Amino acid sequence: MRYIFTFSIILFSTYIKAQYISDSGALFSGLVYNLSNTDTVFAYHEEKKLIPASLTKIVTTATALEVLGADFQFETKVCYSGTVSNHVLYGDIVIKACGDPTLGSKYFEETKPSCFFEALSKGLQKEGITRIEGIIRVESSSPGYSSPRLWEDIGNYYGGFPHGFNWRDNTVNVVLSSSAVGETCVVKSVDPDIYPYALQCDVVAASHSKDSAYVYGVPEINKWWIEGSIPSHRSAFKIKAAMPDPQRVFAREFSEYLIHHGIEIANEMLVDFKAQEEETDLFSYFSPDLSEIIRITNQKSNNLFADALFLVLAKEYTGKASWDNGILAIRGFWKDKIEFDQYFRLRDGSGLTPKNLISPKGMVQLLSWMKRESVCFEVFKASLAVGGVNGTLKSVFKHPDLQGKIIGKSGSMEGVLGYCGYATLASDEVCSFCVLANNYLVETKIIRGELDDLVTRILIK
């Protein structure tokens, strides 16, 4: 049976609070498509292209799986220049970066900083090196800025762009202390140390209980600053900033590690250029498999991982990692499989930019292709959150009749909320779906509840 519900019945009169949404001028589009019998279960303005926020990661991770393969790994090569004599390296330690976003990451046991340091240290010990008369040098090629990224995001941990060399999730933990309402807060600690960068604190104490502090800065300026507010009378309130220079932080930490483990180093300074001396390989450090990386990307909505995959796709497709080439790479893969040019406009891989546009019809086409055609579908499926259970869907789709039967992803930013994925009906038929709301002025929790109710009612009908 074919069910196509009208907007007035489904959205306004039944599921969305009419007064709130209509007064705000909000936009809504959605599509639920039965993959088993090719029926359209629900459709409203399904061709309308709206801002998808983090639903963009579905496109990025699906493309990465198809192009790179589930067992793809980033490879960071480590070598040394110069010569070794009497246990002394007369040259540099050279890290040849490849854009791996997992180096030093907290998300995998094998990527913790200590694991990378231990591997490096063992490589030096194997060569009999106990002193380095040189520097730690990281060779990398920066992709530069994603031009449509919002200024208010760039300095914060979730909005920092991928570098050629990434370290510790490119994240800095900043602890603030606050006193009375209206008073300026104080920076108590910054971990890891980001010298020579400094943080100026213009945050004030407020009567609310939210984290409303935002960090501003780019790597080209040494003074970053924090604005906004945090709760009053807090002795240690933690916020997170983007790391201005991951290479420098790594070089400092690795120098300290070597010294602590009995290997002297003459100079920890970092030089980012290629040396002319002959280089000797020490070892290669491999990231977790792509299957594991996309699991974190989708379930944790990790922007750094998604954009790093976007850039490695660019390099695979054109030979150069750039934002423009990432767009070409994704379009190049999908243009002959779905109506990509008609329903997608991408500007990054994470969904941080509000210049991305996707229609529910385009997203459902992509999800349907993955289910029907992809040899990597089971890996892709395993990367998605389970409704009412985990990841970005943990707080929605909890109806008993849908328990564990919806997998997918959410996406949100100011005035934007959406969900997409797959749902198994009571008949065991599988649907692909996407619903998107934009430009609402009410609290997101209201729209979240209404979209949850909308999807639930459609699927259990």
Residues above pLDDT 70, as percent of the chain = 92
Residue 131 exposure: Cα atoms within 13 Å on the Cβ side? 7
CATH number at residue 299: 3.40.710.10
The 8-class DSSP code of residue 89 comes to: E
Both 246 and 354 in a single domain? Answer: no
The pLDDT value recorded for residue 58 is 98
Backbone angles phi, psi at 262, to 5 degrees: 80, 15
Residue 118 exposure: Cα atoms within 13 Å on the Cβ side? 7
2 occurs within a structural domain: no
- Rounded Cα–Cα distance for residues 266 and 260 (Å): 14
Q: pLDDT digit string (tens) for 337-386?
A: 999 999 999 999 999 999 999 999 999 999 999 999 999 999 999 999 99
140 occurs within a structural domain: yes
Q: pLDDT digit string (tens) for 145-158?
A: 888 999 999 999 99
The pLDDT value recorded for residue 276 is 52
Over 80: is that where the pLDDT of 291 sits? yes
Over 80: is that where the pLDDT of 140 sits? yes
Both 116 and 171 in a single domain? Answer: yes
Last residue of a domain, one of 235, 255, 288: 288
Contact in structure between 311 and 326 (CB atoms under 8 Å) = yes
1 occurs within a structural domain: no
Backbone angles phi, psi at 91, to 5 degrees: 175, -160
**pTM as predicted:** 0.93
Over 70: is that where the pLDDT of 277 sits? no
Both 193 and 278 in a single domain? Answer: yes
Q: How far is C-alpha 215 from the geometric centre of its chain's CA atoms?
A: 18
Over 50: is that where the pLDDT of 81 sits? yes
- Rounded Cα–Cα distance for residues 381 and 370 (Å): 9
CA angle 5, 417, 216 (to 5 degrees): 165
263 occurs within a structural domain: yes
Query: What mean pLDDT do residues 320-330 have?
Result: 96
Both 298 and 284 in a single domain? Answer: no
Both 56 and 89 in a single domain? Answer: no
Both 95 and 27 in a single domain? Answer: no
Residues 6+ apart with CB under 8 A from 211: 230, 237, 239
Total domains in the fold of the chain: 2
- In which region does residue 141 sit, left (phi positive, over 0), alpha (psi from -120 to 50) or beta (all else)? beta
Query: What mean pLDDT do residues 204-209 have?
Result: 95
Sheet of 237-242, strands arranged across: 186-191, 171-177, 237-242
Contact in structure between 29 and 360 (CB atoms under 8 Å) = yes
Both 165 and 261 in a single domain? Answer: yes
Contact in structure between 323 and 330 (CB atoms under 8 Å) = no
Last residue of a domain, one of 288, 305, 326: 288
The 8-class DSSP code of residue 55 comes to: G
Last residue of a domain, one of 256, 272, 288: 288
364 occurs within a structural domain: yes
| Pairing assessment for the beta strands 40-44 and 27-34 based on DSSP bridges | antiparallel
180 occurs within a structural domain: yes
The 8-class DSSP code of residue 128 comes to: T
Both 12 and 156 in a single domain? Answer: no
Both 25 and 130 in a single domain? Answer: no
Radius of gyration from C-alpha coordinates of the chain: 24
Q: pLDDT digit string (tens) for 378-418?
A: 999 999 999 999 999 999 999 999 988 999 999 999 999 99
The pLDDT value recorded for residue 160 is 87
Contact in structure between 213 and 230 (CB atoms under 8 Å) = yes
Residue 57 exposure: Cα atoms within 13 Å on the Cβ side? 34
Both 100 and 198 in a single domain? Answer: yes
Residue-number span of the structural domain to which 211 is assigned: 73-288
Q: pLDDT digit string (tens) for 14-69?
A: 444 334 444 456 899 999 999 999 999 999 899 999 999 999 999 999 999 999 99
The pLDDT value recorded for residue 13 is 40
Identify the H or E element spanning 437.
strand 430-438
Both 85 and 66 in a single domain? Answer: no
Q: What separation in angstroms does the CA of 275 have from each of 133, 255, 406?
A: 15, 20, 53
87 occurs within a structural domain: yes
The average confidence (pLDDT) of the chain is 90
Both 304 and 411 in a single domain? Answer: yes
Top-confidence residue, 231 or 137: 231
Identify the H or E element spanning 206.
strand 204-206
66 occurs within a structural domain: yes
Query: What mean pLDDT do residues 306-328 have?
Result: 97
The residues that bridge with 204 in the sheet, in sequence order, are: 184, 229
